[in-house]
Structures are given as structure tokens and as C-alpha cells.
Chain A
Amino acid sequence: MSDATSEVLLRARGLRAAYSVDAGEVVAVDDVSLEVRKGEVLGVAGESGCGKSTLAAVLSLTARPPLFVQAGELEVEGRRLDLGPDTSPPRTWRGEVVSLLPQGAMNSLNPTVRIRDFVVDIVRAHQPKAKRDEAIDRARERLEQLDLPRCVLDCYPHQLSGGMKQRVVTVVSALLDPRLLIADEPTSALDVSSQRVLIEMLKEMLARDIIGSVIFVTHDLPVLNTIADRIAIMYAGQIAEVGATREVIDRPRHPYSAALLSSVLVPEPAIRRRRVTGIPGSPPSLLNPPSGCRFHPRCSLASETCRTEAPPRAGDERRYSRCWWASRHPDQTVEVTA
């Protein structure tokens, strides 16, 4: 795991990306800045439609029309890349510097193609001159390293269990040793036992430096509790709160984070005694987001300023909350009813 002194692997500044739709422009990622250290797992959590999957696409350089990246700056291990509507990322970045493990990847495997042929396809997509045998050997070595059976290479997808498929797809997405792996909802479709095994595998990959860091996108906060070092909570295209996992979970400083935490259903006695209500209302349409703080229509701590002015960042770079209440009550925690 990382500590405060390990170097910064990813620095993303001012990311802005929008979908071009008939009704106009939907800004799904609005001025997002992130920092990930080497060996660290950053969790990105939020409800559907908050823009976390779009953020994954932008960071992994896989955005394609109707999604357009409008602005931003990426720096991975010193290498800088400016993003914009006219720039296209260099071919070598995708897969080798940043790699995306897309949502639902395990269900998109071609059922008529064996895993080893799939591996070759993926490697060739990033390195057209790669030799077939080399690619397969590389995959075999990697599987051995991670204690996965080598025979999966000979299998068809339907012969593998859900958990195994997801692990295979994860290994393949990291085959070219990317510095940053962005995993979009990798555990959503899995049983809890497969989830646990996948998370352990990711930790192993980090320990062996197969991947430098992980950005783990999900809506499931308890899962982040088991793997993430830091958590960023996203709402309506912006980062509402960010900080170390224990900090955000035990001492949240944004009403939205507290509301999310209050609506988690865990098998504990306390939950039998109270009524869990979830968050009233629904996430705003990004075509026309609310004025001021985007969360104010659903916030129990909203004040007049919240309705009209966008809130500042309260806190420092590594631990902040974008909230008026938080800036007026430094060092105070929003109450989580649990």
C-alpha cells in the first residue's frame, strides 16, 4: 500500500467532457481534478448518472463520439498530455500507460473465441506487430504469477464461471503493464465470494507492480472499504468530497456522502432497528444542472448561499469537501444515521 511519501503517479487537472445530444450538451465531467499516488487505490463512488463512467473513459483515453473531451491535463509519471477537442492521445498511451477495464467486460467476451485468441486480439490492437506466440506466453506467465490456472487460455468464455471470467478479463486488461488501471464496476455482477477473490487479485497485482495504481469506479461503498486507500465521491459531474477511506467513511464532510453512507444496507443489528430512507429526489439532469451547489435541492443542510453560489473547496488538496456547510464548519462531521 502507499504512504504519504510515495510519488504521485497520476495528476489530472480540470477535466471536462460532454456528450453531444440533440437537446444540447450534457457536461458529464465538469472540472474534475484528481491525484493518485503509486501503489494506491482511489475509489470513485456515486449514483448512476454522476459521471463516474465518463470520468473512467476520459482518464483511460477511450472517449469517443458522442462523448467529447473538452479540456484537461493528464500527467502520468511525469509524462504530460493535454486533452481537448482537437487533440488525440498518442497510440502508445492506451493500454500501456493507462488501461480501462470496462463495465460489463466479462459479458462482452465473444462466445465463439477462445480466451487465448482473445488475448492475441487485444495485444495486437495495441501493438500491431506483436507475435501470436509471444502474446500467449506473456498471458500464460501472468496467469501463473497470479495463481490462476493456465488452462483457461484454452477455454471458451461459457466454460468459465462469472468470477473467473472477470479475473481473466482483468488480467488481460493489465497485460501490457499499464501504470494506471481504471476499473469500471468490476465487482457489480459478481457474488460476494468472487468479489473478494477479485479484490485480492487486484491487491496482488499492485504488490507485484504489475500495475502502478488503480482507480476503482463503483456505486458500492462497502466494496471500496475493502480495497480503496482513498475515496472520491462524485455528484452531477463534480467531485463532492475526497479523502482517505477511513476519513470519508467515518467522518464525512459532505451531506451527500453522509446520505450515501446512511442508505447502505449491511447485515448488522443496527439496521434492523431503524428505517433507512435513501436520498429524497433524484440526481439532476446534466443538461440543465441546478444553480449554485448542485446537490442543494436534495440537501438537508442547504442554506440560501447554496442555492445561488457554487461552493468552494473546503480543505486541502488531499482531503476536501465542496460544500458551503463544510467551509463554515471546518473539522466537523456530517452526521450519518446508522
Chain B
Amino acid sequence: MRMVRFTPRFWISLAVFSVVVAFGVFGPMVAGDKLGEGVGGLYDPPSAQAWLGTDDLGHDIFTNLMFGTRTSLVIGFVAGAFATVIGVVVGLLAGYHGGRVEEALMGVTNVALAIPAIVVLILLSVALDFRSIVTMALVIAITSWPWTARAVRAQTSSVRTREHLDVARLSGAGTWNILLWDVLPYLMSYICMAFVLQISSAILAEAGLSLLGLGPSDSVSLGIMLNWALVGESLRTGAWWAFVPPTVLLTLIAFTLLMLQSSLDQVFNPRLRGGRRRPGLASLTPQTGVGLDVRGEEGGER
């Protein structure tokens, strides 16, 4: 496989995101037992014992932040994974078969898209007595898969007409074999980008739900921290350390993931990488420039 060139933007966003993940993964391991422990008074400002102060129950906000990041990231990944898998399967089948199968699947997808996600999220969350992390992830995935399905279907439709699929059929390969080996690899770059976006939107969706008090029932998440900050009237008492850190972290995660996604777009699409474009008819020249196979062999392009 030809190697893709990674751009600076990619490395920077990956680095920042890795730091956040490390914070969420290793932090709790280090401070494992300190969660839920009262370390000071209510809404103590930042000090040497509590780097980001305490919340309205006297717990260390920095510890909360670490655990909260972990929960949010886990929900984000799991929901993103669910949504992507469902969306990809639906999109592949619809795009490959066309005809009635496509109409039926796209009909379902469009209906799902039309229903406001927030309404479904609230109703489902309220209906559940106990919301575990995985349950929440599922609930969020249910409202976000249609978007991926639609995009994957469009991509599949365009890959479907390529000749290598005909060759695969003539070689006796079955539908699933073809979808897995002849269609899916061509969509991988797109699916990667979609997955990154799904994680980002899932994390924000969880934050929104938690803010409304519908978050995971037995864990701390960034959204739950915000909820506590609101409920504990930290805004009124001026305890900025209760709501600013989770907000900053949420923003950082969302922004970094967005940067990562756009950098992936650059990686997979060399034309976006920058460089001068010449004016005139020559700007019509296809991406390969002058169409020369630099190895000097008879290439597919003359």
C-alpha cells in the first residue's frame, strides 16, 4: 500500500488528544481512591491540596476532572463505535444493492434523521431506571447512526460501479465477501473521519444529557460536573473552578477531534495539502499533474 503523508496538523491534534486521553486513563489510576473523598470545605478555591479547588460536596475537582474525562471519553468512543458500525452496515447494504433494498433502508434512515435527536435522547434516558455507561452510549448511538449511514451509502454507490467489483463477481465472490474486501477498504478513509466526528458529537451529546440531569447514574462525567456546578449555584457564588475546568476540557476535546478529522481529510486528499495552483486551462489538469508515470513504464495514463 502506498503510504500516506501525515501533515503537521495531524500530529499536533493527535498529540493534544493523546494528552487528554492520558489524562483520562492514567489520572484515575494514580488517584483511584481519592474519588468521593472530602478533601476540604465546600467550594474551597484552588490550593496546594486541591489544585482546582473543591466542589459543593468538598470533593477534589481535579480528581473529578480526571474521572469525568475518562467517563466522557469512554461514552464517546463506545457510542461512536456503535453508531459507525450500524451506519456502515446499513449504508453498505443500501448502496450496494440499490433498488428496493436501498429505498427501504434509506426510508428508515431518513425517518430516523428527521426525528429530533434531543427528544429521543431525553425520552429514552428518562425511560431507563439505571443508566450505565454502556446504556448511555447505546442511547446516543441510536440517534446518530443515520448520518453515517447516509454518507456511507453515497460512497458505496460510487464504488459500486468500479470495474474491480465486476472482476470480483466474475471470480465467484459472494456479496459479503465483495462488501468486505472490495468496497469497505475504499471507504476506510471516509469511515475513519466519520468515526472521529461521531466521537466528538457523542461526547457533546452526553454532556448535554448530563447537564439536564440525565447522565450516567453512577459515574462522574464532564457533563455531570457541569450539572453539579449549576445545581450547586457555583455561578452565583463565583466558584469558577467548579464549571470552568469541565467546560475547558469539553471544548478542548471537541476542538481537537475536529482538527484531527480535518487533518485526516488532508492526509487522504493530497490536493488539500497546500501549494500553488497554476491559473488557466492547466488548472484543469487532473490530480496527477502531467499524467506521467515517473517510473518510466507504460502507465495507465498516457
Q: Is A102 a contact of B284 with CB atoms below 8 Å?
A: yes
Query: A67 and B289: CB pair below 8 A?
Result: yes
B296 touches A284 (CB 8 A): yes
A54 touches B290 (CB 8 A): yes
Q: Tell yes or no: A257 within 8 A of B by CB.
A: no
Known: A28-B292, A64-B289, A108-B285. A95 touches B297 (CB 8 A): no
Scan B255-298; emit 1 where CB is below 8 A from any A CB, else 0: 00000000000000000000110111111111001111111111
Indicate if A26 sits at the interface (CB-CB under 8 A).
yes
A105-160 at interface with B (beta carbon < 8 Å):
105, 107-109, 122, 125-126
Q: Is the CB of B292 within 8 A of A54?
A: yes
- How many angstroms from the CA of A286 to the CA of B297 in the assembled complex? 9
Q: How far is the CB of B271 from chain A (nearest CB, A)?
A: 13
Whether the Cβ atoms of B297 and A108 lie closer than 8 Å is no
What size tier do the contact residues of chain A reach? 35 or more
Give the residues in chain A near B280, CB-CB below 8 Å.
Answer: 62, 94-95, 99, 122, 125-126
A277 interface contact, C-beta 8 A: no
Query: In the complex, A66→B299 CA distance in Å?
Result: 18
* Residues from 192 to 220 in B contacting A, C-beta threshold 8 Å: none
Cα distance A135–B284 in the bound complex, in angstroms: 19
Partner of B281, one of A28, A53, A173, A219: A173
A: residues with CB less than 8 A from B are 19, 21, 26, 28, 47-49, 51, 53-54, 56-57, 60, 62-67, 94-95, 99-105, 107-109, 122, 125-126, 169, 172-173, 185, 188, 219, 236, 282-287
Interface residues of B (CB under 8 A from A): 275-276, 278-286, 289-299, 301-302
Chosen A-B contacts, 14 in total, with CB atoms closer than 8 Å, are A28-B292, A48-B297, A48-B299, A49-B292, A94-B279, A103-B301, A105-B281, A122-B281, A125-B280, A126-B279, A169-B284, A185-B302, A287-B294, A287-B296
Given A48-B299, A103-B301, A285-B297, 5 further pairs, Cβ under 8 A: A49-B296, A100-B281, A122-B280, A285-B295, A286-B296
